[in-house]
Structure 1
Amino acid sequence: MTTMTENASGLREFKMPDVGEGLTEAEILKWYVQPGDTVTDGQVVCEVETAKAAVELPIPFDGVVHALHFPEGTTVDVGQVIIAVAVSGGAAAPAAPVAEAVAVPAAEPAPIEEAKPEGRKPVLVGYGVAEASTKRRARKGVEVPAQQGETLYAATALQAELNGHGVAPAQRPLAKPPVRKLAKDLGVDLATITPSGPDGIITREDVHAAVAPAQAPAPAAVPAPQAPQEAPARVQAPAPAASYDGARETRVPVKGVRKATATAMVGSAFTAPHVTEFVTLDVTRTMRLVEELKQDKEMQGLRVNPLLLIAKALLVAIKRNPGINASWDEGHDGKAEIVQKHYVNLGIAAATPRGLIVPNIKDAHDKTLPQLAEELGALVATAREGKTSPAAMQGGTVTITNVGVFGVDTGTPILNPGESAILAVGAIKPQPWVHKGKVKPRQVTTLALSFDHRLVDGELGSRVLADTAAILEQPKRLITWA
């Protein structure tokens, strides 16, 4: 689909692209530019939310913003023009009335992306990134060394005139997404902070320094509480505080990720016949191995927790029982087929402020333990920042959902559409357990495996669950069975 057009007046129009596979609409969450702003090829102009994720949209050409066609919060069909830009040589002036009709935030910039590895596929469908896409993306008002091959536009007198002001607009504070979230959580206005990072970027230390004077010192007589035992990694959305003042009800529109999740789960529950099996096991040895791996030099700097070893155990169990890694295809001619997958894209269910998403680790079966730890850490960090791409959530084959981080013992998980199995991990906690003929306190958890009974019978499902449990009880099987 063509995502840009040009007319005789010198305006180039950018259309809402299909940022996933077959998506039909997206909601505009935030505009990062306004009429009169100068934009460059590759600069992010807005953030949109699809049925799968929040995605930043870069403009594919240079020019001056003429008009924003939709305000924030509007759901726009794919193919509709969302922004018009006056390109070089165009005489079109910015549409001043649009600034009043569209609520455009001016306090917070688009996040700065770090260098991306060469060969990465474009995020958007319809146009690609430039050959120099491994460079940092241009940001207004920031100078970058010439060898990076990018020219950034500062606020000039012409831009100020286009904006209808006598002086150039103030530069927006620059900060990466985790730093912006930290400032928001601590109630710090980024505009009041003097940046200490390179290129005028605000760092975490800058935010902490800004809030430190306002915090009262903790009483010396009260000892700091001990940190609880580490739970498996999770991405958890903050729970809103309940309030019963004023209105007795609040209605929240179901859209974006939540709408897609609801539709998919209903379809899965009423299409695939679910069977769930449970096993309670002693994972004391696994917990000891987790602590040992944290001290291993090969794992330094990586996220090491029980979820890492649970994921590895499930991958080994799948290798021993490959029939579980498949999907059911009704076929176009009515002849159903079982599609056996010879790769494992391991999904990790993550709760985010926008709803439940399931990004997956591509070709997880080929990953070493350090590689798997690195991929899990990146997956969690990206989900927390709300930057999970649609591509990261496509093509999953088997999923893990960690309900134990909420203190829940077990559950009956619903299959991710298109997959045949999902493993739920319960809370790991000390319980009395018969060990070597004596009752002793041991680290115990419960696993629950749901599977599609059309292609996975009870024997196969039981073998996968039993093998996963056996590995976690005796983690040396990661070596002997792999």
Structure 2
Amino acid sequence: MPDFKQFLLADTAEGLTEAEILGVRVKPGDEVTVNQIVVEVETAKAAVELPIPWAGRITEVLVEEGQTVEVGAPILTVDVDPGGGSASVNGSAPDEEMKPLVGYGSKTVATKRRVRRGTPVPEPEPARRPEPAQPAPAAKSGYVPLAKPPVRKLAKDLGVDLSTLAGSVDGVITREDVERAAAPAPVVRQPGARERRVPIKGVRKATAQAMVSSAFTAPHVTEFLTVDVTPMMELRERLKKHPSFAGVKLTPLAFAAKAVCLAAKRTPDVNASWDEAAGEIVYKDYVHLGIAAATPRGLVVPKIRDADAMSLPELAVALDGLTTTAREGRTAPEDMVNGTITITNVGVFGVDTGTPIINPGEAAILAFGAIRDTPWVVDGELAVRKVLQLALSFDHRLVDGQQGSQFLADVGALLADPALAITY
């Protein structure tokens, strides 16, 4: 006889409470295999593909695209024994062997429906001339419009519902498809309207909650330091020609990352966390370095695990991969939790410095400013040098002024004279 199981929304990241359904890739009657991707969701941290832990036949699809679902809520119903035998499909015991997802069980949780115009499903866009898109079978169960994140953003900005389009290039919706769809029916505001409203959700909602919590929980102190980094920039040019850096994108941020890791060993308080519930300060003997990255989905802070154990070339490679993945919206949720200290590179936007807010659970964050040609006094004479500004915000519960100042001074000294690294 049939053996029905419910596939529930898993807790794909620490602290996740809900997620938005981006697309359902199966429909009733479909046969599925173990670990087949059946649903894509968007959490407050990233877009995540969910595999199903059993083989069988889909009997019910319980959610729709655009719906917000709480952790533990049922998504699909699966008959894991469609043949009527006593064992599950593929010979596995239905209950004991396939439970890789958190949230497995029979709990029923209410869901909330939200309207969604576009959902990021990264797919490669073939390089051939697109043909006009045809209307998509929007009512077809399980239809997931395929489009790259920039195309989805364009559709959202133009008010185009991607579910009404079929992609012109192997099923992938292109920018031209969206522009054609928008042309005959552009978004028109009511006469005199000078406002527009956007729902607060996803990364923006999570960022807002985290920043408010941090600002009103941790007593922030920010200190500033201006540094002549001409020697660092000269070393960078030399290292770019060294065989160990062949094919490596060596940026000033890599030097800052190395300096933070070295300086944190001398001032471990900046790499600690405050455990209010336990009444303890937790000192970390490792550095999980967060790098704040601006993405189309908002601000995210992926981590470089054990950054303190990496060489400069390894850090440079890790930074390049991390930022590329973040901008493409492919950062895994587990890569954005449990950081110990963070760098925010405001210099990439041409900004000198700022007063960054500490990430919850951390003790400090360093703002790395723009490097500019600046008049500077060297050995009593005026010269043009490469100069940047650093700003360090720290939690005064954990870090006293002396400790914060020492850490910032150490980072500045390492950037001003990288040779000091051999003395640390």
User: TM tier, shorter chain?
Assistant: 0.7 to 0.9
Matched with 1:481 is 423
**2:88 corresponds to:** none
- 1:39 correspondence with 2:32: yes
Structure 1 residue 471, shift from structure 2 partner: 0.8
Q: Which residue of 2 aligns with 1:254?
A: 200
Deviations 1:39-72 (A, max 9, x none): 3221212221223332111112223433321111
Q: Structure 1 residue 90: deviation in Å?
A: 5.0
Structure 1 partner of 2:260: 314
Residue 400 of structure 2, aligned match among 457, 467, 477: 457
Number of residue-to-residue matches in the alignment:
353
Aligned 8 A contact 1:285 1:473 in 2: yes
Hey, what does 1:418 align to over in structure 2? 361
Corresponding position: 1:300 with 2:221: no
Amino acid at match of 2:267: N
- Which of 376, 397, 404 is the aligned partner of 1:433? 376
Conserved 8 A contact 1:20-1:124 = no
Distance (whole Å) between structure 2 residues aligned to residue 182 and residue 291 of structure 1: 34
- Structure 2 distance, partners of 1:434, 1:245, is 57
Deviations 1:127-184, CA, capped at 9 Å, x for gaps: 7xxxxxxxxxxxxxxxxxxxxxxxxxxxxxxxxxxx99xxxx99x99xxx9xx45887
In the alignment, the residues of structure 1 paired with residue 263 and residue 295 of structure 2 have an alpha-carbon distance, to the nearest angstrom, of: 29
Distance in 1 (alpha carbons) for counterparts of 2:166 and 2:291: 33
Percent pairwise identity: 55
CA distance in structure 1 between the aligned counterparts of 2:365 and 2:69, rounded to whole angstroms: 34
Q: Report if aligned partners of 2:231, 2:416 keep a CA contact under 8 Å in 1.
A: yes
In the alignment, structure 1 residue 285 sits paired with structure 2 residue 228: no
Give the whole-Å Cα distance in 2 for the aligned partners of 1:90 and 1:182: 45
**Of 54, 61, 65, the match for 2:54:** 61
Deviations 1:297-333 (A, max 9, x none): 212233310100011011111112223221222234x
Indicate the SS of the match to 1:349. strand
Answer whether contact 2:8 2:103 (CA < 8 A) is retained.
no
Amino acid across the alignment from 2:22: L
Q: 2:411 matched to which residue of 1?
A: 468
| CA distance in structure 1 between the partners assigned to 2:320 and 2:268 by the alignment | 26
Q: Which residue of 2 aligns with 1:24?
A: 17
1:258-304 superposed Cα distances (whole Å, 9 cap, x missing partner)? 22221111111111111100011111221222222222221223331
Q: Would the aligned equivalents of 1:31 and 1:47 in 2 still touch at CA under 8 Å?
A: yes
Distance change >3 Å, CA 123–CA 420, structure 1 → 2:
farther
Could you give the per-residue CA deviations for residues 229-280 of structure 1, whole angstroms, max 9, x where no partner exists? xxxxxxxxxxxxxx99554222112123222221111111111111100011
Counterpart residue number, 1:75 = 68
Residue 436 of structure 1 and its aligned partner are, at CA, apart by: 3.1
Native 8 Å contact 1:29 1:49 kept in 2: yes
Match of 2:291 among 340, 348, 369: 348
- Are residues 1:125 and 2:71 paired? no
| 1:324 aligns to 2:270 (yes or no) | yes
Q: Which runs of 5+ in 2 are unaligned?
A: 85-98, 105-139, 156-164, 177-186
Determine whether 1:403 maps to 2:396: no
* Ranges in structure 1 where 5+ consecutive residues have no aligned partner: 1-7, 92-121, 128-162, 196-201, 211-242
C-alpha RMSD of matched pairs (Å): 3.3
Q: CA deviation at 1:473?
A: 0.8
Partner of 1:116: none
User: Would the alpha carbon gap of residues 123 and 304 (structure 1) be closer, same or farther in structure 2, given more than 3 Å must change?
Assistant: farther
Question: Partner of 2:418: helix, strand, or coil?
Answer: coil
Shift of 1:193: 4.8
Which secondary structure state, in structure 2, belongs to the residue aligned with residue 47 of structure 1?
strand
Rate the CA distance shift 1:186–1:82 in 2: closer, same or farther, 3 A.
closer
For residue 316 of structure 2, the aligned residue among 373, 383, 397 is 373
Corresponding position of 2:161: none
Aligned CA distance change for structure 1 residues 78 and 309 (closer, same or farther; 3 Å): same
